[in-house]
């Protein structure tokens, strides 16, 4: 008996796999019962798959299929079942008017409906939350757009907070995200190309660009890299990022990600390409340069004088985040004569009872700081900040009093951590955290010579890095003088006539010249 049951289960499994294999080319039958059985076999052991037959004249003529939780059942009951129960379905004496046409015209007159004749399209539509309708005697199915799954409302992005600027952010719903972009660029030149990636997840992906601004070579490269992805499922946009970046082993990000619709709109206006992925609020933007990692959305919502000063602060903090611990280790270990005498005496006095070399001390403190930062992120918000602050104060103070580390080392590590938080792009900040450790090891082994070696190697890597064929250090290397003004400082809006030359290939300027404010002297004219 057990052997017979095992044989039946094996036959059932093989039948299902065979159906899944052949479904791409399988056409719907005119027999309603046959179509139902195939769908039930495909969705076997799927408790959320719902089948609702509808009888006409006491005979099953129509069957509805949908996924519970993905389809708006309240609207379905209101639009379909309530009128059907009250009025019934009046068939037409005209033989040319089929039952499917009657359902389409009388029960769903104002709803988006498509007709399909293949099982593969019907199954994919049901899995996306749409309603599938099969009618007896017709070798086609009606697909009704009734998606109604729960979704998060539009909120301010938690990772890119601004004081001045829009407060809306992307959500996990693809069409909500594209609509937020459409609100900002109301032009038919904004193109949204759709494709599906993932054998099992069937994740919807959209390529966004502005026709006439984007480079055709860049657009073709993005399409090519996306279409060659073969994977079972895409759960977040980072899955795609790893498949399409130029240098996967580089610590530096080559594709920008953001939750802000205004950033995506601004980047598209500069000739870049955005990649929207369903089920994630993070949108990918390509190409990315090293300098765009220092730019925040708020840079273009504040006056350019203040923004330019803030950019210099960020560049300075970037160097502090990478080199300050290394310089401290190198000077205190190999080059104490370069330290002012009074400062050297203070450092020597603080390190008098510390049992570890400076390099070990710095590495220990850096690892503890990274651990505290990770704990603050992973813990619930109510206690995360408290743990990170209290942990840093208690551990730092206790370690200094116990003579395990010196006070200067705590100050250096704390200053380095603060500097790394000044970088607007989180993925660029993580690159700094990784680079800091090899720089520390080089400083501990070779002193300032090791720092110089690390600096040269890092810059050679950055100069050779590419993002979709665009040099990562553009416009500094290769140098494009016209674009340097929006790198080191934020150029006034009335002076920024052209977009970046490495992506902006139009000869036409973005705005006419001569718009610099020129107030008249001597008061207002009447």
Count how many domains the chain has.
3
Residue 292, token pair as written in the block: 């765009």
The reply to whether 488 falls in a domain is no
Cβ count within 10 A of residue 182: 15
How many residues does this entry show for the chain? 526
Which residue's structure tokens are 């992120």? 377
| Global pTM value | 0.86
Among candidate residues 448, 464, 480, the one where a domain is terminated? 464
Q: CB–CB of 360/474 below 8 Å?
A: no
Residue 406: strand, helix, or coil: coil
Q: In terms of domains, do 312 and 451 share one? A: yes
Beta-carbon count within 10 A of 257 CB: 22
381 CB-contact burial (10 Å; exposed 0-12 / middle 13-18 / buried 19+): exposed
Nearest-CA neighbor of 302 among 311, 292, 291, 314? 311
Co-location of 102 and 78 in the same domain: yes
C-alpha span between 284 and 205 (Å, rounded):
11
Q: Which of 470, 19, 511 is nearest to 246 (CA)?
A: 470
CA torsion sign, 164 to 277 to 43 to 27?
positive
Q: In this structure, is residue 493 part of a structural domain?
A: no
Q: Is 194 helix (H, G, I), strand (E, B) or coil?
A: strand
Question: 384 CB contacts (<8 Å, ≥6 apart)?
Answer: 375, 376, 377, 378
The answer to whether residue 448 is domain-embedded is: yes
The answer on 376 and 236 residing in a single domain is no
* Residue 472 included in any domain: no
Q: Tell me whether residue 370 is in a domain.
A: yes
* Among candidate residues 123, 144, 165, the one where a domain is terminated: 144
Label residues 398-434 b or e (16+ Cβ within 10 Å = b).
ebbeeebbbbbbbebbebbbebbebbbbebbbebbbe
Query: Does residue 41 sit within a domain?
Result: yes
Q: Which two tokens stand for residue 291?
A: 């300098």
Angle at 262 between CA 198 and CA 173, to 5 degrees: 35
| Run means of pLDDT, 10 residues per run, the chain, 526 residues | 46 49 73 89 90 78 89 81 58 55 63 83 90 88 83 86 90 93 94 94 94 91 95 94 94 94 93 94 94 89 90 92 94 92 91 90 89 79 65 76 88 89 89 92 95 96 93 86 79 74 56 77 56
Residue 184 forms part of a structural domain: yes
Judge whether 507 lies within some domain.
Answer: no
Which string of DSSP letters, residue by residue, matches 437-470?
A: HHHHHHHHHHTHHHHHHHHHHHHHHHHH-EETTE
List, as one string, the DSSP characters of 293-337.
GG--GGGGTS-HHHHHHHHHHHHHHHHHHHHHHHHHHHHHHT-GG
- Domain containing 40: what range? 13-144
Nearest to 270 by CA among 341, 209, 333, 315: 209
- The torsion angles phi and psi of 422, rounded to 5 degrees, stand at -80, -10
179 and 69 assigned to the same domain: no
Alpha helix segments (H runs only) across 88-162: 99-102, 119-127
Assess whether 63 and 131 both reside in one domain. yes
| Co-location of 311 and 448 in the same domain | yes
Q: Which of helix, strand or coil describes residue 52?
A: strand
Q: Are residues 308 and 436 in the same domain?
A: yes
What local confidence, expressed as pLDDT, does residue 487 receive? 83
Listed residues 445, 464, 483: the one ending a domain:
464
pLDDT of residue 107: 65
Pair of tokens at residue 229? 């992805």
Based on the fold, state whether residues 331 and 458 are members of the same structural domain.
yes
315 shares a domain with 427? yes
451 and 333 in a common domain: yes
Read off the tokens for 153. Answer: 């409302």
Same domain, 122 and 271: no
Kindly report whether the peptide bond that precedes residue 256 is cis, defined as omega within 30 degrees of 0: no
Same domain, 335 and 425: yes
pLDDT, position 6: 47
Give which of 476, 448, 500 is closest to 339, Cα–Cα. 448
């Amino acid at each position: 008996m057990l052997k017979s049951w095992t044989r039946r289960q094996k036959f059932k499994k093989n039948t299902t796999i065979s159906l899944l294999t052949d479904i791409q080319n399988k056409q719907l039958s005119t027999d309603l019962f046959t179509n139902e059985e195939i769908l039930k076999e495909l969705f076997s052991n799927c408790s959320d798959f719902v089948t609702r037959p509808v009888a006409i004249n006491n005979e099953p003529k129509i069957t509805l299929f949908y996924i519970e939780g993905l389809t708006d059942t309240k609207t379905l009951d209101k639009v379909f079942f309530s009128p059907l129960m009250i009025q019934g379905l009046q068939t037409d004496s005209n033989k040319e008017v089929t039952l499917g046409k009657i359902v389409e015209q009388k029960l769903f007159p104002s709803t988006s409906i498509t007709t399909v004749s293949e099982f593969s399209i019907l199954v994919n539509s049901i899995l996306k939350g749409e309603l599938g309708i099969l009618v007896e005697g017709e070798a086609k199915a009606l697909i009704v757009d009734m998606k109604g799954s729960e979704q998060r409302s539009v909120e301010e992005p938690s990772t890119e907070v601004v004081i001045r600027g829009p407060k809306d952010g992307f959500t996990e719903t693809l069409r909500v995200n594209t609509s937020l972009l459409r609100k900002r660029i109301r032009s038919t030149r904004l193109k949204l190309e759709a494709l599906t990636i993932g054998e099992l997840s069937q994740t919807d992906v959209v390529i966004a660009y502005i026709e006439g601004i984007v480079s055709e070579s860049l657009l073709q490269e993005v399409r090519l890299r996306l279409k060659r992805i073969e994977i079972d499922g895409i759960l977040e946009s980072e899955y795609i990022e790893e498949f399409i970046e130029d240098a996967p082993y580089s610590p530096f990000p080559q594709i920008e990600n953001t939750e802000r619709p205004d950033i995506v709109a601004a980047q598209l206006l500069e000739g870049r390409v955005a990649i929207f992925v369903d089920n994630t609020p993070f949108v990918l933007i390509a190409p990315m340069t090293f300098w765009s990692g220092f730019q925040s959305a708020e840079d273009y919502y504040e006056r350019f004088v203040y923004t330019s000063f803030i950019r210099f602060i960020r560049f300075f903090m970037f160097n502090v985040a990478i080199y300050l611990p290394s310089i401290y280790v190198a000077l205190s270990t190999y080059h104490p004569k370069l330290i002012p005498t009074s400062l050297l005496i203070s450092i020597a006095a603080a390190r008098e009872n510390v049992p570890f070399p400076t390099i070990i001390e710095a590495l220990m403190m850096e690892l503890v700081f990274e651990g505290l930062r990770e704990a603050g992120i992973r813990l619930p918000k109510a206690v995360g900040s408290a743990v990170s602050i209290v942990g840093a104060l208690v551990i730092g103070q206790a370690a200094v009093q116990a003579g395990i580390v010196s006070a200067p080392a705590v100050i250096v590590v704390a200053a380095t951590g603060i500097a790394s938080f000044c970088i607007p792009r989180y993925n660029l900040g993580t690159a700094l955290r990784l680079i800091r450790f090899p720089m520390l090891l080089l400083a501990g082994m070779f002193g300032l010579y090791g720092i110089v070696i690390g600096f040269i190697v890092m810059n050679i890597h950055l100069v050779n890095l590419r993002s979709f064929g665009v040099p990562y250090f553009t416009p500094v290397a290769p140098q494009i003088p016209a674009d340097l003004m929006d790198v080191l400082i934020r150029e006034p809006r009335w002076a920024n006539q052209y977009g970046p030359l490495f992506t902006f290939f139009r000869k036409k300027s973005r705005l006419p010249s001569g718009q610099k404010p020129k107030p008249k002297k001597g008061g207002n004219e009447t």
